[in-house]
Amino acid sequence: MQHTNKLSPFFENITFDRDDNELILNFGPQHPSAHGQLRLLLHLQQEQVVKAHPDIGYLHRGMEKMAENMIYNEFLPTTDRMDYIASSSNNYGFALAVEKLIDVDVPRRAQVIRMLLLEVNRLMSHLFWLATTALDIGAMTIFLYAFREREYLMDLIEDYCGARLTHAAIRIGGVPLDLPDNFMDDLKKFLDKLPQNMKDYEDLLDTNRIWLMRMEEVGTIPTEMALSWGCTGPMLRASGVNWDLRKEEPYELYSEIDFDVPVSDKGDNYARYKIYMEEMRQSAKILYQVIPMYYETTPELMAHAPQYISASKLDIMTQNYSLMQHFVLVTQGMRPPVGEVYVATESPKGELGFYINSQGGPYPYRLKMRAPSFWHTGVLTDLLPGHYIPDVVAIIGTTNIVFGEIDR
């Protein structure tokens, strides 16, 4: 007897009475190259994909729902769990959106520290991308090399905030901590070594015949498809659109920094690889410029907005009114004004946006998180048909998707 409500073997891979030769392949959700919990339903003719349906939701935790039931400061650590490869950039995206909503300006030292954290996170994310993609394609050595460098950066972040993966290192209105004494020296040591490391990676990959065969002319995203699917970040820049939010809608101190935005008109895996590599160099260039800026700032870390943001620890411990304010802000939460805001930042993966609808209460009425990976997974629907099975793995690799932020 068939129990329709029970988990039963589902013979979708076997097609007995079909005229055509189409095979339906279930790729994932437990596939080492699926970068998390991606299930791809691939319709195959021989080894060629004719139709692809990415199926997501295996990591859905309902963060938008959680946001509606949490005060703003309480929700900030939850954003760590979106793109957990570069979690400070999520903290930052959320904090910036709330700051725009309540209209506060962040002190300059906090801005400098945020810039440092954001670019270190970008480097971490790109190194992780390089490592895992190379591993997917079979270049194990790169994996080990890139993880070695990423480990150094994780240690650096650990020195700053104590956490390695889920940092929660940015607060609404500033940053919680000043940099530890050794931070700049360690960062400089890393940056000085980075060009040699990058050269090592490129020596191993750029002329590697297997790498080129897997990357060149594979997974080509035309400009129209990239725009239409809402691709952003390196995915869009690899398809010939010069669009980087750090340049186009500068936030923090990016307008004071001299850096270049790499663009390619090829749109294939190799173009994306090249763009990630160049972005790492540009991140290093940004960091070199940000380091001296730190020493020109005064040591304020949090914005002064007593209605929304707690005073400094010193004030809380010595001033009666600051303590009362802090108590209200912690137990009841800040109440931003009634209104809506959509703020986008350039996370390592692309445009990370937060739409907040506030009705004047301590909980957001609606919070929508625009995660770049969501759309970069969606584009697989149109991108994969025509490619072969082994290309699928290489393409998923270069889209740099992270399931924490796809499923949210």
Which residues make up the interface to another protein (CB under 8 A)?
Answer: 3, 5-7, 53, 56-57, 60, 62, 64-66, 68-70, 100-101, 103, 225, 227-230, 232, 241, 243, 248-249, 332-333, 335, 337-344, 351, 353, 355, 357-363, 365-366, 368, 370, 374-375, 378-379, 381-382, 407-408
Q: Which is nearer to another protein, 47 or 103 (CB)?
A: 103
User: Which of 237, 291, 289, 296 minimizes the C-alpha distance to 258?
Assistant: 289
Q: Yes or no: say if 137 and 216 are a contact pair by the CB < 8 Å rule.
A: no
| C-alpha span between 314 and 90 (Å, rounded) | 28
Q: Which long-range contacts (CB under 8 A, 24 or more apart) does 57-66 make?
A: 57/407, 58/29, 58/403, 58/407, 59/403, 59/404, 59/406, 59/407, 60/407, 60/408, 61/407, 61/408, 62/408, 63/369, 63/408, 64/366, 64/367, 64/368, 64/369, 64/408
Residue 57 CB, nearest distance to another protein (Å)? Answer: 4
Amino acid (1-letter code) at residue 173: G
Indicate the residue among 7 and 14 with the shorter CB distance to another protein.
7
CA atoms within 13 A on the CB side of 143: 10
Cβ of residue 268: shortest distance to another protein, in angstroms?
19
At closest approach, how far in Å is the CB of 62 from another protein? 6
Closer to another protein by CB, 46 or 228: give it. Answer: 228
DSSP per-residue string spanning 136-198: HHT-HHHHHHHHHHHHHHHHHHHHHHS-SSS----BTTB-SSPPPTTHHHHHHHHHHHHHHHH
CB of 399 to another protein, least distance (A): 14
Nearer to another protein, 5 or 298 (CB): 5
Q: What are phi and psi of 41, to 5 degrees?
A: -95, 110
| Shortest spacing between CB 333 and another protein, in angstroms | 8
Calculate ∠ Cα 70-107-314, nearest 5°: 75
The residue among 188 and 366 lying less far from another protein, judged by its C-beta, is 366
Return the number of the residue (132 or 358) whose C-beta is nearest another protein: 358
Residue among 1 and 14 whose Cβ is closer to another protein: 1
Q: How far is the CB of 97 from another protein (least distance, A)?
A: 9
As a whole number of angstroms, the distance between CA 241 and CA 267 comes to 10
Provide, rounded to whole angstroms, the least separation between the CB of residue 246 and another protein: 13
Q: Is the CB of 84 or the CB of 243 nearer to another protein?
A: 243
Task: Give the tokens for residue 290.
Answer: 């940000």
In angstroms, what is the minimal distance from the CB of 201 to another protein? Answer: 31
